[in-house]
Structure 1
Amino acid sequence: MGNFNDRELDETYRDTRDMIWCDIVNKKVRKVVPGDMIQFHRGHYEHWAIYIGNGEVIQVEVKFIGYAEIMQLSVDYVLGPDGKARINNFKDYDWPVLPVDEILEKARSVLGQSLAYNVLCNNCEHFATGCRYGVRTSGQAEAF
């Protein structure tokens, strides 16, 4: 089954820069905390990252087709001028969530590394779920 949260109504996305966003799983607005998975709306697809605090995320940054790098970037940079994002820890009720320090260590341990990028089996959502749950999955890839 794919990620049922991928195509929720746009009002669940926030464009505020105060780091108080919609938590789609718990259906409330709250402050983003380290270890949260952030879902950035990109129109026809969703981009995913791990929030590490201080307005920063660690994410898979595609450099060109088939190649990506794990990078730490500001939320403002990832959002862009018209960006929208939300908190989406979509497997929290299905899988155990790793301790925050372990989530952050998993993300930081691969910073700067290059990887073979594949939208179906090695994408940004695989990275984020791998960090948060220790299991890599992608609702977007499953939907194909």
Structure 2
Amino acid sequence: AWGGKCPPTQTGGRERWSMVELKPGDLIEIFRSCYQHWAIYVGDGKVVHLAPPCKCPPSLKGEVSLSDRAFVKKDWLEDVVRKDRYRVNNKHDETHPPLPVSKIVRWAEELVGREMPYNLTSHNCEHFVMELRYGVAMSDQVGVTEAIAMGTVGVMGMAAAVIRSMAQRRKHRKE
């Protein structure tokens, strides 16, 4: 189910978005411009997610990290989502039975504040939440990221070959 901007509700003096379909332990897929950020819903409008070390404004938190370290944070879902689309995406429930909800939430809460290794292809925010829900760190974005990287390398190699060929032609014309 797609999440979006529902009517705000007042709870504890803090405005937040009404979460009709969210259940503790749900995986939240947030659609950023070039990638998906992932979080796990822990209840009461809050999520736990892996975020880069950042002294930047809240509007930039939860972005892809160029660092090899990240921090486990607990934030309001609306603050992590910002104006982006999001949805509940427990996509591996058919092939990997989820851990008990109490264990997922307890484990997520215990990790809040910890510094963790971060790597775009082996320890990213999707790996983090998948391990919390299923006990297995996995990411479908990795294949896409690697394909883009390989495509970029391939294009760069072809460009280098074309430039080399053009340089050789110029050299032969001058001779």
2:76 alignment counterpart = 74
**Which residue in 1 is equivalent to 2:26?**
36
**What SS does structure 1 have at the residue aligned with 2:137?**
coil
Shift of 1:85: 0.8
Report the Cα offset of residue 14 of structure 1.
3.1
Percent identity over the alignment is 34
1:15 deviates by 2.1
TM-score by length of 2: 0.66
Gaps of at least 5 residues in structure 1 are: 1-11, 21-30
Q: Which residue of 2 aligns with 1:15?
A: 4
Segments of structure 2 that go 5 or more residues without pairing to the other structure are 6-16, 54-64, 147-175
Map Cα deviations across residues 2-28 of structure 1 (whole Å, 9 max, x no partner). xxxxxxxxxx643223224xxxxxxxx
The 3-state SS of whatever aligns with 1:125 is helix
Structure 1 residue matching 2:33: 3-state secondary structure: coil
Per the alignment, residue 113 of structure 2 pairs with 112
> Is it true that 1:54 corresponds to 2:44 in the alignment?
yes
Q: Give the whole-Å Cα distance in 2 for the aligned partners of 1:90 and 1:106.
A: 20
Write the deviation string for residues 5-55 of structure 1: whole angstroms up to 9, x where unpaired. Answer: xxxxxxx643223224xxxxxxxxxx1000000001101100001100010
Point out the structure with max Rg over C-alpha: 2
4+ residue runs over 4 A deviation: none
> TM-score scaled to structure 1, two decimals?
0.80
How many residue pairs are counted as aligned between the two chains? 122
